[in-house]
Amino acid sequence: MGLRLPIGDVTVLLGPALARLRVMAQLDEGTARTPGNAAVGVLRLVAGPDDPVADRLETLDAAGRGAATIVLVDRFTDGLAAHERAALLRRLHAVADGRAVLVNDRDPVAALAAADGALRVDRTGTLSYEPVGELDYLAS
């Protein structure tokens, strides 16, 4: 699967839950490349539903200081209350400074509120990217 993510943006993965899980499972941290074919560092952030918010915030801060070019945020807010989820998702912009961030969240609408773009996946696995500004039709 070829996938290009914009550097400096938070991109949320939208679509059926199973299709989103499949996309995230197919992303291989060891094969990420730049358009010129140079290898790039990838970091996958996951959290268990019982992990404290403070630990998750520390993980985000470390990701923002790290060398990874791509950060995969995979169900990182599971188990959190809505206000905690929103606070963590807003912090992703600091992580995206100089990186591409892809988010798969149990609540993709909450993640969309904090995103710059959306990568939509359908049941067949077809992917399409749209900037958030072009998704206003979803509100009608």
- Torsional sign, CA 8, 39, 62, 117: positive
Laid out side by side, the sheet with 117-121 consists of: 42-45, 70-74, 100-104, 10-14, 117-121, 127-131
- Please write the tens of the pLDDT for every residue from 64-112: 999 999 999 999 999 999 999 999 999 999 999 999 999 999 998 899 9
Q: Residues 14-23: what's their mean pLDDT?
A: 92
CA–CA separation, 127 and 66 (whole Å): 28
User: Residue 27: which pLDDT band, with cuts at 50, 70 and 90?
Assistant: confident
Beta pairing class for 70-74 and 42-45: parallel
Q: Is residue 118 part of a domain?
A: yes
CA–CA separation, 93 and 64 (whole Å): 9
CA–CA separation, 36 and 137 (whole Å): 35
Q: Is residue 3 part of a domain?
A: no
CA–CA separation, 114 and 133 (whole Å): 12
To the nearest whole number, what is the mean pLDDT of the chain?
Answer: 88
Token representation of residue 75: 């169900």
Q: What is the CATH number of the domain that holds 73?
A: 3.40.50.300
The range of the structural domain enclosing residue 68 comes to 10-139
User: Residue 49: which pLDDT band, with cuts at 50, 70 and 90?
Assistant: very high
Q: Is residue 1 part of a domain?
A: no
Phi, psi at residue 40, to the nearest 5°?
Answer: -125, 155
Structural domain count of the chain: 1
pLDDT value at residue 38:
67
Does pLDDT of 42 surpass 80? yes
Q: Report yes or no: 102 and 95 within 8 Å, Cβ to Cβ.
A: no
Does pLDDT of 33 surpass 60? yes
pLDDT value at residue 2:
65
Does pLDDT of 45 surpass 90? yes
Q: Is residue 2 part of a domain?
A: no
CA–CA separation, 77 and 97 (whole Å): 20
Q: Residues 105-128: what's their mean pLDDT?
A: 90
Q: Is residue 70 part of a domain?
A: yes
Structure-token match 């499949």, residue found: 22
Query: Which range, 1-5, 39-43, 99-103, has the best average confidence (pLDDT)?
Result: 99-103
pLDDT value at residue 17:
92
